Amino acid sequence: MKRTLTVLLVVTTLADLLVFAPTGKKSIPFLPVVHAQDENSGCSLTSLKGPYAVEGQGTVVVQLPGLPAPPAPLAESSLANFNGAGAFSGHGTVSIGGAALNTTFTGTYTVNSDCTGNLTVNTNLGLTIQEAFVVIGGGRRFITTETDPLAVVERRVERLGD
């Protein structure tokens, strides 16, 4: 009986070590530790695909023809559709110093594996805008910063339908 209890105690202790020890900070590598994949563990052009809502705010710092003198506040609401292969298009409304403009645009974008990227926006107003961005949540959102000397603008972009 004593021998049976000793064997049972040893088997139970070993089972506990195999099951519970790998979950602690100082785990014993008897069993492999599995981690869920981070949804931002890498990005590509396909990370941005589908319709997105765009909200932008900032300040225009250069005089634009027919618009209020700088510095002029800027606000934007747009819809953009990304094709997942490096191109996008859309339309929206931009207010610069209180002057509201309806705009359409097309553009191209690149996405790096570290989820940073760049985009070029060509507007029907004759302006070409360069932006740097960071992809968040596997492409559900991204944040841009305009990199031209034209304006200081940050845009927050969120995929529709998620």
- The verdict on 65 and 125 lying in the same domain is yes
- On whether both 12 and 81 belong to a single domain, the answer is no
In DSSP terms, 113 is beta-bridged to none
* Residue-range definition of the domain harbouring residue 134: 45-159
- Find all residues with CB under 8 Å of 106, minimum gap 6, and list them: 87, 88, 89, 121, 122
Q: pTM of the entire structure? A: 0.73
- pLDDT tens digits, residue range 84-107? 999 999 999 999 999 999 999 999
User: Has residue 40 been placed in a domain?
Assistant: no
Contact 159, 142 (CB under 8 A): no
Would 39 be classed as within a structural domain? Answer: no
pLDDT value for 64? 86
- Say yes or no: 89 and 148 in one domain: yes
In this structure, are residues 130 and 146 in contact, taking their beta carbons and an 8 Å threshold?
yes
